[in-house]
């Protein structure tokens, strides 16, 4: 049997994780002088603590799970005779992939670790696809091929309202000088996204609403899509408006997944983000 794992940055709703039997290893969030597993904090609790910490001059920080955290999950699964596929947040901005890979070496070919090249629901869509394929009887090589093909077709574009969190988080140092020039001197809103796992500046406009419209247009250009989602930090109404517009303009059947990203991505993106994830049809 193939068991699928991921880390808590996937932002998948708990009911989806349970339905597909996906196992989650939590990342670590530090807020002021306190440290939490991401899965131990609701998003409202997280932002309450962040507001208190910001009043004292602290920004939230994150770190990857320990080697032991991964080994403690791999060991019983392999011991039961399973093959394990672990899909992680992009290795370009987190040490999670490297730690999971190092932990997997103890188990030989029984554990495969895959870099998603992304995070949040972009990672979540990959994990869901792997779990569904495994449930339908796909072999290990088929699941791995699916993931590596799908990640190249997965696009996450987000509009930032502030760069202070991503600056202080220290995970995108190569991007910060570019964003600083864009937002400080030109007073415009940046559109960022992942290119083979690395955050890049993909566009900019003079207003937040124009930037969101540009993201929506980009998703239109990527059609046909097999998955579509809207994520946000502290902007539920705006996110739903974007989802409703995309539903109408793209002729989506059913509901687009809309969700607030968890503590890990929020710690680096800050409040006020709107993002859209689209997976092109294979």
CATH of the domain at 276: 3.30.1180.10
Say whether both 140 and 189 belong to one domain. Answer: no
- List phi, psi (to 5°) of 177: -60, -40
Q: Residue 120 — left, alpha, or beta (φ > 0 → left; ψ -120 to 50 → alpha)?
A: left
pTM here is: 0.94
Is 201 domain-assigned?
A: yes
Quick: pLDDT tens for 99-128: 999 999 999 999 999 999 999 999 999 999
Is 211 domain-assigned?
A: yes
- Please give the tally of structural domains in the chain: 2
- List phi, psi (to 5°) of 117: 70, 15
Does residue 86 contact residue 3 with C-beta atoms inside 8 Å? no
Say whether both 134 and 171 belong to one domain. Answer: no
Closest by Cα among 121, 116, 161, 89 to 259: 121
Say whether both 188 and 223 belong to one domain. Answer: yes
Say whether both 116 and 226 belong to one domain. Answer: no
Domain residues for the domain of 129 are 2-27+64-151
Is 124 domain-assigned?
A: yes
Non-local (6+) Cβ contacts of 111 within 8 A are 74, 78, 83, 84, 86, 103, 104
Domain containing residue 117: CATH number: 3.40.50.10170
Quick: pLDDT tens for 80-92: 999 999 999 999 9
Query: What three-state secondary structure class fits 194?
Result: strand
The confidence score (pLDDT) of residue 172 equals 62
Does residue 230 contact residue 239 with C-beta atoms inside 8 Å? yes
Is 101 domain-assigned?
A: yes
Q: Per-residue confidence at 165, pLDDT binned at 50, 70, 90?
A: confident
Say whether both 8 and 127 belong to one domain. Answer: yes
DSSP 224: S
Domain boundary pick from 116, 151, 186: 151
């Amino acid at each position: 049997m193939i068991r699928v794992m991921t880390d808590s940055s996937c932002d998948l709703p708990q009911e989806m994780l349970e339905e597909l039997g996906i196992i989650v290893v939590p990342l670590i969030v530090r807020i002021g002088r306190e440290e939490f597993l991401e899965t131990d904090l609701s998003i409202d609790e997280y932002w309450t603590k962040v507001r208190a910490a910001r009043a004292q001059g602290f920004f939230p920080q994150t770190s990857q799970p320990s080697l032991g955290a991964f080994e403690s999950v791999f060991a019983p699964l392999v011991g039961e005779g399973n093959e394990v596929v672990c899909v992680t947040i992009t290795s370009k901005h987190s040490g999670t992939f490297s730690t999971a890979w190092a932990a997997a070496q103890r188990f030989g070919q029984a554990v495969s670790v895959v870099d998603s090249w992304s995070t949040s629901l972009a990672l979540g869509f990959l994990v869901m696809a792997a779990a569904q394929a495994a449930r339908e009887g796909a072999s290990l090589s088929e699941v791995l091929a699916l993931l590596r093909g799908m990640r190249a077709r997965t696009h996450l574009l987000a509009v930032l309202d502030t760069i202070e969190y991503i600056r202080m988080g220290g995970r995108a140092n190569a991007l910060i000088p570019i964003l600083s020039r864009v937002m400080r001197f030109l007073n415009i809103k940046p559109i960022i996204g992942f290119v083979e796992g690395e955050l890049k500046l993909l566009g900019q406009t003079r207003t937040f609403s124009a930037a969101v419209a540009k993201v929506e247009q980009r998703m239109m250009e990527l059609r046909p899509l097999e998955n579509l989602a809207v994520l946000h930090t502290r902007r539920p109404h705006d996110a739903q408006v974007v989802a409703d517009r995309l539903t109408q303009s793209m002729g989506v059947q059913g509901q687009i997944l809309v969700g607030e990203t968890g503590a890990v991505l929020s710690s680096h993106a800050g409040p006020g983000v709107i993002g859209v994830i689209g997976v092109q049809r294979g």
